[in-house]
Amino acid sequence: MASMAIIPTAQGQILKKLKKSAERAAERTIERRVEKETSEKTDEVLDSILEPGKKGEVARDKDGNPIPQMDTPGQGDTDTKKSPGVLNGPQEMRVYSKFDYVPGDKILFFEDFQNEFIGDFPSKWNTNGSGELVTFDDSDEKWLELVSGYNIYFIPDVPDLPEEYTIEFDVTAVGLSKRTSSTAMLRVDLSDDGAFKEGANFVQASIPFCQYSPIGITMANHINNKREIYSVVKADLRDEVLNRPHISIAVNKERFRLWVNEEKHIDIPRIVPAGAVINTLKFHMNNFKDGEERIFITNLKVAEGGLDLRRTLLAEGRASTNGILFGVGSAKIQPQSMGIIRQISQVLQQEKDMNLKIVGHTDADGTEASNLDLSRQRAEAVREALISIYEIEGARLTAEGKGESQPVADNTSPDGKAKNRRVEFIKQ
């Protein structure tokens, strides 16, 4: 199968058109979510959080609404990388200010494919079909292209899943149109079968990619080979799937929750089979046109737990998290990280006499000096978010950076690097 490391001219033109389409879709999404009338001062403050050190007014359209800005890939230390067509600005930050997803605190599996070769199927995954790693345009970010087919599965080498864990990943779609089938879906399976079958016990969430009609999210399970739940939860994801959605899943014993970007769509208290050994994560594609409608996945993170930083901070006087994500080589906070920052704000609002030191850490990619500076900027960005979004008094917060000097894991593997990229909160 040919590599996409260098995209042919015709296909490059298609991707450029898709990029423009994604931009328009993203603008419509933001318009739906946010009130039109927002203060210029708030936008300016939030912009300084997202891009520390950058001054100036927020660009606006003829009606005075903020114009969404496109993210540009950077260099060096990476938490998440954005492909063309990704929004990340003051409006989106405000939308995520009430986001209540908190990732697990113990990383079980992380995959951004940076140690893999373009054109290959990744070594830490298995399939009974086919797929390959690709890049888009001039970005160095790598994506696994999934191939649609009957009973074809893509299985990452995730260790046995505990009772409580979280799953996150990014998806990019190419070639969607009004002709995309109403049954075109990306299915996430949690199963007791480690091979290429559904299993006797499973829970499935199917994310729709149809463009001509708002198809909901299909939820299903089997308990001892018997179906207990099959339902379609209303959700209009047509704009989201054009604009690189970030999918977040939290499993707490029998409870299953799913967010697309900042919005929680699924919260079913008893759908995961109780007592069964649900130990395998699988991906499966349904009814995409072969070679035309294409789905890619990256930045898969599976973590045990769902750390309640509030309890940890109150009980131990300090808490550490790798769930606060930033842009590539920058201190731009990724909006999906706001659930954690919100938890910290709740502690500070309750404990009026508590002061905090915020400490940033990076992995060892890049120079020691640049990582030290980057970690300091990231800690300051979190401090500014607490002040400007959650109205915590600035005098109660200090920020510093440690760079790569205090690793907690090996810096030679994606898992280890992800653990080392973290933010600490220390009671003063």
DSSP β-bridge partners for residue 229: 221
Whether residue 233 is predicted with pLDDT greater than 50 in this model: the reply is yes
Buried b (16+ CB within 10 A) or exposed e, 340-358: bbbbbbebbeeeeeeebbb
Q: Are 204 and 221 spatial neighbours (Cβ–Cβ below 8 Å)? A: yes
pLDDT of residue 67: 33
Q: Which residue has the higher pLDDT, 149 or 409?
A: 409
Cα separation values, 247 from 70, 265, 297, 301, Å: 20, 11, 10, 11
Bridge-based pairing of strands 255-260 and 246-252 is antiparallel
Bridge-based pairing of strands 356-361 and 397-403 is parallel
pLDDT of residue 63: 42
Which residue intervals of the chain bear CATH 2.60.120.560? 106-304
Bridge-based pairing of strands 125-127 and 131-134 is unpaired
Q: Which residue has the higher pLDDT, 6 or 393?
A: 393
Which residue intervals of the chain bear CATH 3.30.1330.60? 34-100+308-428
Architecture in CATH of 106-304: Sandwich (2.60)
The string of pLDDT tens digits covering residues 245-270 is 999 999 989 999 999 988 899 999 99
Whether residue 70 is predicted with pLDDT greater than 60 in this model: the reply is no
Phi-psi region at 244: left, alpha or beta (left = phi > 0; alpha = psi -120 to 50): left
State what percent of residues in the chain have pLDDT above 90. 57
pLDDT of residue 249: 95
Residue 94's pLDDT band, with cuts at 50, 70 and 90, is low
Average pLDDT value for the chain: 81
CA distance 361 to 398: 15
Q: Which residue has the higher pLDDT, 242 or 56?
A: 242
Range with the lowest mean pLDDT among 36-45, 91-100, 364-373?
Answer: 36-45
CA distance 194 to 207: 22
Whether residue 414 is predicted with pLDDT greater than 60 in this model: the reply is yes
Residue 309's pLDDT band, with cuts at 50, 70 and 90, is confident
The string of pLDDT tens digits covering residues 344-393 is 998 999 999 999 999 999 999 999 999 999 999 999 999 999 998 889 99
Estimate the crossing angle of helix 309-316 against helix 338-350, to 10 degrees.
40
The string of pLDDT tens digits covering residues 84-93 is 333 345 556 6
Q: Which tokens belong to 258?
A: 């799913």
Fill in the DSSP letter of residue 383: H
Name the CATH superfamily, with its identifier, for domain 34-100+308-428. Answer: OmpA-like domain (3.30.1330.60)
